[in-house]
Amino acid sequence: MLAYRHGFHAGNHGDVLKHLILAQVLAHMGAKDKPFRYIDTHAGAGMYLLADRFAQTTGEYLQGIARLWDRQDAPPVVAEYLALIRQFNPSGELVQYPGSPAIAQALLRPQDQMRLFELHSSDHRLLAAHFGHARNTQVVLADGFEALKSQVPPSTRRALVLMDPSYELVGDYGKVVAAIRDAVGRFAEGVYMVWYPIVRRSVSVQLPARLQRLAKKGWLHASLTLGEPNEEGFGMYGSGVFVINPPYTLHATLETALPWLRGALGQSERARYLLEHRAV
C-alpha cells in the first residue's frame, strides 16, 4: 500500500465521478448555516501536476478530465464540476488536477473543519505543505481507517467522510466495511462517501451490497462502467461511489449527469451507468 501514489491516476475517469459527487455533497452541506467537518481518510498529495512523471507514466487523465475539458454541451452539474476544476487552471490550459482536499478547501466555509489523513510519507509532506497552515485544518500522518475512530462523532455534530483507499491490497475492501460499520455505530447521522474501483474481483462486486447493509437511514449508489478489463483480465474499467445518508437532491442531480458521462467517457459500446438509491 505504501508504494501507491495517486499521482499516477489523478484526473482519470474515477476522479471525475468521485469529485463531481463530492462537490455536490459539499455544496448541499454548506447550504445550512451550521458548520460541519470534512474528513478525508486517504487524502493523497492534494494537488497533481499533469506534466509530472507520475501522470505522464500512465496518461490516465487523458481518458478522464482531458476528454471533458473542451466540451461545451455538459449538463449543469457537470458544467459546475468543470468550472471548479478550471479555478485551478486559470490559464485555460489543463495543467493540474486538484485532489479531494483541494476541492473540499475550495467549497468549505470559514466555520467548517477539514481533517486530512495520509500514510504515505512523501504524499503527506506534500499534503502538509499545501494545506497544513489552512484555518480549521489538520493534516495527519496516519492510517485513515484507524484515524476515523477519533473523528466521529465530531464536535460540529455534522460530518462528511470520504473514504477512497488504493484497493491495491484485497484486504482494503474489508477494512472499508469495518471502518464504516464502526463509524456509523458511533455517528449514525454522518454522511459517508465511499469510492471504489470496478475491477474483475469478487470483493469489488460485493462491496456495494455490504455497504447497503450498514445504511439504516438511506443510501445512494452510482457507478460508471466505461471499458473492459485488459487482455489478462486486469485493470480498472470503471468505478462507483456509495453514499450513506446522501443529500435528498443527489439522485435527481445525477440522473442527468451519468448518461452524459457515459457517452463522453465511454471506451466501448458496452459502457453503462448505474444509479440506485433508497430513501427513508
Residue 123 falls in the annotated catalytic set:
no
Q: Which of 52, 164, 172, 182 is catalytic?
A: 164
Q: Report which of 45, 36, 151 is spatially closest to residue 100, judged by C-alpha positions.
A: 45
Burial 128-153 (b: 16+ CB within 10 A, else e): bebbeeeeebebbebbbbebbeebbe
Burial 161-172 (b: 16+ CB within 10 A, else e): bbbbbbbeeeeb
Q: Report which of 182, 146, 144, 135 is spatially closest to residue 166, judged by C-alpha positions.
A: 144
Element housing 185 (H / E): helix 171-186
Known catalytic residues are: 164
